[in-house]
Amino acid sequence: MNWVRASLRGLILPAITLGIWEALSRAGLEDPHVFPPLEWIAWTAWNDTLHASLIGNLLSSVGRCAAGFAIGGTAGLLLGAAFGLSRTMRVLFHSLFNTLKQIAVFAWIPLLAMWFGIGEASKLAFIALATFAPVLVNTEEGFYRAPAGLLEVGAVLTLRRFQVIRRIILPAALPSIMTGLQLGLIHAWLGTIGAEFFMTAGPGIGTFVAEGRDRFQMSQTLVGVVLLGLVGFLLQRGAQALERHALHWRQA
């Protein structure tokens, strides 16, 4: 029963944390809005779920994340493939992309807000932007992974360019592309959180968290933060499962 003991040890720190929290709120030394008793937090979670505001916020965030990921991911795949396949594209646009990539992604928010307002369009644009760079970089890298031997075989078989891409370059690029998409998904969720913090119009789990802060309701903020982490975790797990599924032929 070694693993039982190990997982019990893993509970020590969370238990201590919760104990200190509860003690702080019970002792009345701290503002109960900042350190609410645990049952308040549980009640907030239950109550907001019941009133559907939590689920509604959650769904609109996930939908927004998916839409932004789709836009930014597609753009990243296309431009990454163009960079990987065409020297001309690379020579013309690579330095431009590399320069823009240096700018920390959150620094784009004020610019996007001035261009597209603080509504849905800005949020989508920002999520797409956050997704774009990691997908592009990994897609491009994947296109250079084709083994030289296979390319020679392709030349011997006088395959046409299209066939070389489809049968040799693309399968070799797939693992790296998958890594890029997975990273892109993590960045898309980060972008969703950021976009909802900065542009607080409209529903969303990030807005829910920020609203909790404005109303000085720690229980609301904390419930929201836990959900942020949970969704991020599930997205990552989902992406990993998809990757395994898509690449299962590699074991053969």
Partner 1 sequence: MSATAFQPWSSRVVLALDGLVAPLALLVLWWFASAHGWMPQQVLPAPDAVTSALADLWNSGDLTTNAWVSLRRVVLGFAAGALAGILLGAAMGLSRRAEEVVRPLFTAAAQVPAIGWIPLLMLVVGIGEPLKIIVIAVAACVPVTLNTLAGARAVSPGFYEVAAVFRYSRSQILRRVILPASVPQVFTGLRYGLTNAWLALVAVELLASSEGLGYLLVWGRQMFQMDLVLATMSVIGAVGFALDAGLAFVERRLQHWKIL
Which chain residues interact with partner 1 by CB under 8 A? 6-7, 9-14, 17, 33-34, 91-96, 99-100, 102-111, 113-115, 189-190, 193-194, 197-198, 206, 209-210, 212-213, 216, 218, 221-222, 225-226, 228-230, 232-233
Between 67 and 105, name the residue whose CB sits nearer to partner 1: 105
Q: How far is the CB of 178 from partner 1 (least distance, A)?
A: 20
Alpha helix (H) residue ranges in 86-119: 87-101, 108-116
Q: How far is the CB of 68 from partner 1 (least distance, A)?
A: 16
| Alpha carbon distance 21, 164 (integer Å) | 61
Cβ(135)–Cβ(73) under 8 Å?
A: yes
Q: How far is the CB of 249 from partner 1 (least distance, A)?
A: 28
Amino acid at 83: F
For residue 18, the tally of other CB atoms under 10 A from its CB is: 11
Between 71 and 195, name the residue whose CB sits nearer to partner 1: 195
Between 47 and 200, name the residue whose CB sits nearer to partner 1: 200
Q: Residue 24 has what DSSP assignment?
A: H
Between 165 and 220, name the residue whose CB sits nearer to partner 1: 220
Between 142 and 194, name the residue whose CB sits nearer to partner 1: 194
In terms of Cβ atoms closer than 10 Å to its own Cβ (0-12, 13-18, 19+), residue 13 is exposed
Cβ(22)–Cβ(32) under 8 Å?
A: no
| Alpha carbon distance 111, 166 (integer Å) | 39
Cβ(149)–Cβ(180) under 8 Å?
A: no
Q: How far is the CB of 248 from partner 1 (least distance, A)?
A: 26
Q: What are phi and psi of 124, to 5 degrees?
A: -60, -45
Between 95 and 163, name the residue whose CB sits nearer to partner 1: 95
Hunting for tokens 């774009």 — which residue is that? 132
Q: How far is the CB of 231 from partner 1 (least distance, A)?
A: 9
Q: How far is the CB of 212 from partner 1 (least distance, A)?
A: 7
